[in-house]
Amino acid sequence: MNKRTLIVGNWKMHMNTSQASMLLHRLHERIKIHRNIEVVLAPSMLVLQPLSMQIDRRKFRLAAQNAYHKDEGAFTGEVSFTMLQDLAHYVIIGHSERRLYFHEDLDLVRDKVAAAVRNGIMPILCVGETDHERKAGETRQLLHDQLTTALANLTASDVEEMVIAYEPVWAISTFGGQLAKPSDVAKDMEFIRKQVADLYGKRAASRVRILYGGSVDDQTVRGYLEIEDCDGVLVGGASLNYHKFSGIVDAAYRMRHESGDE
Protein backbone atom coordinates (compact mmCIF):
# COMPACT_ATOMS: atom_id res chain seq x y z
CA MET A 1 0.00 0.00 0.00
CA ASN A 2 1.36 3.35 -1.02
CA LYS A 3 0.49 5.87 1.69
CA ARG A 4 0.56 9.58 0.96
CA THR A 5 3.22 11.51 2.87
CA LEU A 6 1.37 13.62 5.42
CA ILE A 7 2.68 17.09 6.32
CA VAL A 8 0.73 18.83 9.10
CA GLY A 9 1.33 22.44 10.15
CA ASN A 10 0.37 23.06 13.78
CA TRP A 11 -0.02 26.83 14.02
CA LYS A 12 -0.62 26.61 17.80
CA MET A 13 -1.94 29.88 19.33
CA HIS A 14 -0.50 32.11 16.62
CA MET A 15 -2.06 34.47 14.08
CA ASN A 16 -5.31 36.37 14.03
CA THR A 17 -7.78 35.99 11.19
CA SER A 18 -6.11 38.36 8.73
CA GLN A 19 -2.59 37.03 9.43
CA ALA A 20 -3.84 33.47 8.97
CA SER A 21 -5.57 34.39 5.74
CA MET A 22 -2.35 36.02 4.44
CA LEU A 23 -0.29 32.93 5.31
CA LEU A 24 -2.81 30.69 3.55
CA HIS A 25 -2.70 32.98 0.51
CA ARG A 26 1.11 32.65 0.36
CA LEU A 27 0.96 28.87 0.82
CA HIS A 28 -1.56 28.63 -2.03
CA GLU A 29 0.94 30.41 -4.26
CA ARG A 30 3.91 28.23 -3.35
CA ILE A 31 2.52 24.75 -2.74
CA LYS A 32 1.47 22.70 -5.76
CA ILE A 33 -0.94 19.78 -5.85
CA HIS A 34 1.05 16.56 -5.36
CA ARG A 35 -0.69 13.24 -5.75
CA ASN A 36 1.36 11.56 -3.05
CA ILE A 37 1.61 14.39 -0.53
CA GLU A 38 -1.21 15.46 1.76
CA VAL A 39 -0.83 18.87 3.39
CA VAL A 40 -2.90 19.73 6.45
CA LEU A 41 -3.10 23.07 8.26
CA ALA A 42 -4.13 23.32 11.92
CA PRO A 43 -4.96 26.96 12.69
CA SER A 44 -6.62 28.25 15.85
CA MET A 45 -10.27 27.37 16.42
CA LEU A 46 -11.31 30.96 15.66
CA VAL A 47 -9.69 30.90 12.26
CA LEU A 48 -10.97 27.50 11.08
CA GLN A 49 -14.24 28.86 9.71
CA PRO A 50 -12.83 31.73 7.57
CA LEU A 51 -10.00 29.50 6.29
CA SER A 52 -12.47 26.78 5.36
CA MET A 53 -14.03 29.23 2.91
CA GLN A 54 -10.70 30.39 1.47
CA ILE A 55 -8.94 27.07 1.20
CA ASP A 56 -8.21 25.21 -2.05
CA ARG A 57 -9.31 21.74 -1.01
CA ARG A 58 -7.22 20.12 -3.75
CA LYS A 59 -4.12 21.37 -1.92
CA PHE A 60 -4.93 21.46 1.76
CA ARG A 61 -7.09 19.96 4.47
CA LEU A 62 -7.86 21.57 7.81
CA ALA A 63 -7.28 20.24 11.31
CA ALA A 64 -8.47 21.52 14.67
CA GLN A 65 -5.92 21.64 17.48
CA ASN A 66 -8.33 20.44 20.15
CA ALA A 67 -12.02 19.96 20.98
CA TYR A 68 -14.19 18.82 23.89
CA HIS A 69 -15.21 15.18 24.17
CA LYS A 70 -18.95 15.74 24.85
CA ASP A 71 -21.07 16.42 21.80
CA GLU A 72 -23.27 19.13 23.31
CA GLY A 73 -24.22 20.66 26.63
CA ALA A 74 -23.52 23.21 29.36
CA PHE A 75 -19.73 23.35 29.01
CA THR A 76 -18.94 27.04 28.92
CA GLY A 77 -16.09 27.96 26.63
CA GLU A 78 -15.76 24.60 24.89
CA VAL A 79 -16.24 23.55 21.28
CA SER A 80 -17.35 20.00 20.46
CA PHE A 81 -16.22 17.64 17.72
CA THR A 82 -19.82 17.69 16.49
CA MET A 83 -19.50 21.42 15.82
CA LEU A 84 -16.30 20.84 13.86
CA GLN A 85 -17.69 18.19 11.54
CA ASP A 86 -17.98 20.40 8.45
CA LEU A 87 -14.83 22.37 9.18
CA ALA A 88 -12.04 20.01 10.14
CA HIS A 89 -10.93 16.78 8.52
CA TYR A 90 -8.47 16.01 11.33
CA VAL A 91 -8.02 16.98 14.96
CA ILE A 92 -4.81 17.00 16.97
CA ILE A 93 -5.38 15.20 20.29
CA GLY A 94 -3.08 14.82 23.28
CA HIS A 95 -0.41 17.29 22.18
CA SER A 96 2.22 17.56 24.92
CA GLU A 97 1.33 21.23 25.45
CA ARG A 98 -2.22 20.16 26.27
CA ARG A 99 -1.09 17.28 28.45
CA LEU A 100 1.36 19.46 30.39
CA TYR A 101 -0.27 22.94 30.50
CA PHE A 102 -3.91 21.86 30.57
CA HIS A 103 -3.46 18.64 32.55
CA GLU A 104 -5.08 16.40 29.96
CA ASP A 105 -4.67 12.91 31.35
CA LEU A 106 -4.77 9.51 29.67
CA ASP A 107 -8.51 9.05 30.18
CA LEU A 108 -9.40 12.45 28.76
CA VAL A 109 -7.21 11.83 25.72
CA ARG A 110 -8.96 8.46 25.23
CA ASP A 111 -12.39 10.13 25.44
CA LYS A 112 -11.35 12.80 22.95
CA VAL A 113 -10.06 10.20 20.48
CA ALA A 114 -13.37 8.31 20.79
CA ALA A 115 -15.39 11.53 20.34
CA ALA A 116 -13.41 12.46 17.22
CA VAL A 117 -13.97 9.03 15.67
CA ARG A 118 -17.68 9.12 16.62
CA ASN A 119 -18.00 12.43 14.79
CA GLY A 120 -16.10 11.35 11.68
CA ILE A 121 -13.02 13.52 12.34
CA MET A 122 -9.67 11.77 12.06
CA PRO A 123 -7.55 11.97 15.19
CA ILE A 124 -3.88 12.88 15.04
CA LEU A 125 -2.96 11.36 18.38
CA CYS A 126 0.26 12.75 19.90
CA VAL A 127 2.39 10.55 22.13
CA GLY A 128 5.88 11.05 23.51
CA GLU A 129 8.08 11.17 26.57
CA THR A 130 9.59 14.06 28.52
CA ASP A 131 13.34 14.48 28.96
CA HIS A 132 13.01 13.24 32.52
CA GLU A 133 11.12 10.11 31.43
CA ARG A 134 13.65 9.39 28.68
CA LYS A 135 16.59 9.71 31.08
CA ALA A 136 14.82 7.44 33.56
CA GLY A 137 14.47 4.78 30.82
CA GLU A 138 10.68 5.04 30.87
CA THR A 139 10.07 5.87 27.19
CA ARG A 140 8.75 2.47 26.12
CA GLN A 141 6.48 2.06 29.15
CA LEU A 142 5.09 5.55 28.65
CA LEU A 143 4.43 5.04 24.94
CA HIS A 144 2.78 1.74 25.76
CA ASP A 145 0.51 3.38 28.37
CA GLN A 146 -0.37 6.36 26.17
CA LEU A 147 -1.21 4.15 23.20
CA THR A 148 -3.09 1.46 25.08
CA THR A 149 -5.40 3.94 26.79
CA ALA A 150 -5.90 6.30 23.84
CA LEU A 151 -6.78 3.49 21.45
CA ALA A 152 -9.10 1.65 23.84
CA ASN A 153 -12.71 1.39 22.60
CA LEU A 154 -11.72 1.70 18.93
CA THR A 155 -12.05 -0.91 16.21
CA ALA A 156 -9.12 -2.02 14.05
CA SER A 157 -10.62 -0.11 11.11
CA ASP A 158 -10.85 3.09 13.21
CA VAL A 159 -7.17 2.68 14.07
CA GLU A 160 -6.02 2.07 10.52
CA GLU A 161 -7.54 5.37 9.41
CA MET A 162 -5.99 7.47 12.13
CA VAL A 163 -2.66 9.20 12.58
CA ILE A 164 -0.22 8.88 15.46
CA ALA A 165 2.40 11.58 15.95
CA TYR A 166 5.52 10.66 17.90
CA GLU A 167 6.54 13.84 19.68
CA PRO A 168 9.46 13.41 22.05
CA VAL A 169 8.60 16.32 24.37
CA TRP A 170 12.27 17.28 24.80
CA ALA A 171 12.58 17.72 21.03
CA ILE A 172 9.75 20.28 20.78
CA SER A 173 10.95 23.91 20.79
CA THR A 174 8.49 24.79 23.59
CA PHE A 175 10.24 22.37 25.95
CA GLY A 176 13.89 22.73 24.95
CA GLY A 177 13.90 21.75 21.28
CA GLN A 178 16.95 19.45 21.32
CA LEU A 179 17.50 17.90 17.92
CA ALA A 180 16.53 14.23 18.14
CA LYS A 181 18.76 11.83 16.20
CA PRO A 182 16.77 10.19 13.40
CA SER A 183 18.38 6.85 14.32
CA ASP A 184 16.90 7.13 17.85
CA VAL A 185 13.54 8.34 16.56
CA ALA A 186 13.45 5.36 14.18
CA LYS A 187 13.56 2.90 17.09
CA ASP A 188 10.70 4.64 18.92
CA MET A 189 8.57 4.86 15.80
CA GLU A 190 9.15 1.17 15.13
CA PHE A 191 8.09 0.47 18.72
CA ILE A 192 4.88 2.49 18.21
CA ARG A 193 3.97 0.50 15.09
CA LYS A 194 4.68 -2.72 16.93
CA GLN A 195 2.39 -1.65 19.77
CA VAL A 196 -0.41 -1.01 17.28
CA ALA A 197 0.23 -4.45 15.77
CA ASP A 198 -0.01 -6.07 19.22
CA LEU A 199 -3.26 -4.24 19.97
CA TYR A 200 -5.02 -4.25 16.59
CA GLY A 201 -3.13 -6.58 14.27
CA LYS A 202 -0.71 -6.26 11.40
CA ARG A 203 -3.11 -4.70 8.92
CA ALA A 204 -3.99 -1.78 11.22
CA ALA A 205 -0.31 -1.34 12.08
CA SER A 206 0.79 -1.17 8.48
CA ARG A 207 -2.00 1.26 7.54
CA VAL A 208 -1.91 3.69 10.48
CA ARG A 209 0.16 6.73 9.60
CA ILE A 210 2.91 7.62 12.04
CA LEU A 211 4.36 11.13 11.97
CA TYR A 212 7.44 12.61 13.56
CA GLY A 213 6.40 15.61 15.67
CA GLY A 214 9.57 16.91 17.27
CA SER A 215 11.08 20.10 15.87
CA VAL A 216 11.74 19.99 12.15
CA ASP A 217 12.34 22.59 9.47
CA ASP A 218 13.13 22.56 5.77
CA GLN A 219 16.80 21.76 6.51
CA THR A 220 16.28 18.84 8.90
CA VAL A 221 13.06 17.22 7.69
CA ARG A 222 14.68 14.83 5.23
CA GLY A 223 16.50 12.88 7.94
CA TYR A 224 13.18 12.11 9.62
CA LEU A 225 11.24 11.38 6.42
CA GLU A 226 13.89 8.77 5.57
CA ILE A 227 12.93 6.72 8.64
CA GLU A 228 11.22 3.56 7.50
CA ASP A 229 8.20 3.90 9.79
CA CYS A 230 7.79 7.64 9.25
CA ASP A 231 4.80 8.63 7.11
CA GLY A 232 5.20 12.37 7.53
CA VAL A 233 5.76 15.19 9.99
CA LEU A 234 3.81 17.37 12.41
CA VAL A 235 5.47 20.77 12.18
CA GLY A 236 5.26 23.55 14.79
CA GLY A 237 7.21 26.82 14.47
CA ALA A 238 8.38 26.24 10.89
CA SER A 239 4.77 25.96 9.70
CA LEU A 240 4.27 29.68 10.44
CA ASN A 241 6.93 30.60 7.89
CA TYR A 242 5.75 30.00 4.33
CA HIS A 243 9.33 29.61 2.98
CA LYS A 244 10.13 26.93 5.54
CA PHE A 245 6.79 25.14 5.35
CA SER A 246 6.72 25.02 1.57
CA GLY A 247 10.38 23.91 1.74
CA ILE A 248 9.28 20.98 3.91
CA VAL A 249 6.57 20.04 1.38
CA ASP A 250 9.15 20.36 -1.45
CA ALA A 251 11.57 18.08 0.41
CA ALA A 252 8.83 15.46 0.83
CA TYR A 253 7.93 15.78 -2.84
CA ARG A 254 11.57 15.41 -3.96
CA MET A 255 11.95 12.27 -1.87
CA ARG A 256 8.85 10.70 -3.43
CA HIS A 257 10.10 11.75 -6.87
CA GLU A 258 13.55 10.24 -6.26
CA SER A 259 12.00 6.99 -5.12
CA GLY A 260 10.01 6.86 -8.36
CA ASP A 261 6.51 7.35 -6.94
CA GLU A 262 5.90 11.05 -7.47
Give the binding site for ligand 13P (CB under 6 A).
10, 95, 167, 172-173, 177, 213, 215, 234-238
Q: Decide whether 132 or 194 has the Cβ nearer to ligand 13P.
A: 132
Q: Catalytic annotation on 133?
A: no
Q: Decide whether 113 or 204 has the Cβ nearer to ligand 13P.
A: 113
The answer to whether residues 44 and 52 touch, using CB atoms and an 8 Å cutoff, is no
Q: Decide whether 147 or 211 has the Cβ nearer to ligand 13P.
A: 211
Please, what is the minimum distance in Å from the beta carbon of residue 240 to ligand 13P?
9
Q: Catalytic annotation on 167?
A: yes
Q: Decide whether 66 or 215 has the Cβ nearer to ligand 13P.
A: 215
Please, what is the minimum distance in Å from the beta carbon of residue 38 to ligand 13P?
16
For residues 8 and 195, give the distance between their C-alpha atoms in angstroms, rounded to a whole number.
23
Please, what is the minimum distance in Å from the beta carbon of residue 157 to ligand 13P?
26
> Which residue's Cβ has the minimum distance to ligand 13P?
236
Please, what is the minimum distance in Å from the beta carbon of residue 93 to ligand 13P?
12
Of the residues 34, 38, 95, 160, only one is catalytic, namely 95
Q: Which residues are catalytic?
A: 95, 167
